[in-house]
Amino acid sequence: MTAAQIIFLITAAVILGSAFMVVTTKNLVHAALWLIVTLFGAAVLFATLNAGFIAVVQVVIYIGAIAILFIFAVMLTRRSMTDTGPGLNRGWWLSAAIALLTFGGLVWLVSGWGGFTKAAPAYPSGFDAVAALAHALVSPEAFVLPFEVASVLLLAALVGAVYIAFQRKGEE
């Protein structure tokens, strides 16, 4: 086994374990903190795949913004820090079955894919993935339109956020 494989196995185990804790722990803030561990594990996986930009973005956006948003939401809505009710509702077996089916389906679909046995082509020496990404995102012959559309999408998200917040303010 190579060092990269060992790192992958450890990271994957941490991701799975923490994801399991997210859904089983009764303490909502703990769940949010375990979610941060899961998201960080994903960032580590990106880093081992040499996708540095995505790894850092994962931390900046998911941990720096979305996890914080979750914790704020928990603090706003829950009176006590621990959920006293049962952790599972009556439909748990149904959702477990659906999750298992989906997972099985995904495994079945992906198992036919030939990419697992092939080694990825090595990067040419001096290749800078971030610079290549930057050029692809902005240059006129590549993805400039999606780049601009992304800002419209963000605008829509902002307007939506304002709308939701406006309703909340009206209720107070």
Partner 1 sequence: MQSDWTFIGLFLIVGALIPAAAIVVSALLSPRKPNPIKDSTYECGIETVGENWVQFKAQYYIFALVFLVFDVETVFLFPWALSLNQLGLFAVVEGIIFIGILVAGLVYAWRKGMLEWV
Partner 2 sequence: MDFWSNPVKFLDDWLTGVFSGWGMAADAARVLTAFVGILVLITLVMVLDIFLVWLERKIVSRFQDRIGPNRVGPFGLIQPFADIIKLIIKENIYPVGVDKAVFNLAPVLMMMSVLLLWAVLPLTSFLGLDLNVGVLYVIGVGALGTVAIIMAGWSSNNKYALLGSFRQVAVMISYEIPMVAALLIPTIFAGSMGINSIVAAQDTWYIVLAPLAFLLFLVSATAELGRAPFDLTEAESELIAGHHIEYSGMKFGLFYASELLHAFTFGGFIAAFFFGGWRGPWVEAYPALGLFYFIVKATIAYWLFGWIKYTFPRIRIDKMLDLNWKFLVPFAFVLVPFLALMHALLRETSFYALGMFLANIALGWATIEILRRRAHGERAKVEGAVEMHG
With CB under 5 to 8 Å by kind, the binding choice for 29 among partner 1, partner 2, none is partner 2
Whole-number Cα distances in Å, 63 to 67, 83, 153, 168: 5, 23, 21, 25
DSSP three-state, residue 27:
strand
Q: How far is the CB of 124 from partner 2 (least distance, A)?
A: 15
170 binds partner 1 (CB under 8 A): no
Q: Crossing angle, helix 28-48 and helix 3-24, to 10 degrees?
A: 160
With CB under 5 to 8 Å by kind, the binding choice for 79 among partner 2, partner 1, none is partner 1
140 binds partner 1 (CB under 8 A): yes
Q: Which of 6, 13, 16, 65 binds partner 1 (CB under 8 A)?
A: 65
Residue 37 CA to residue 168 CA, distance in Å, equals 31
10 binds partner 2 (CB under 8 A): no
Q: How far is the CB of 27 from partner 1 (least distance, A)?
A: 13
Nearer to partner 2, 19 or 74 (CB): 74
Phi-psi region of 57 (alpha: psi -120 to 50; beta: other; left: phi over 0): alpha
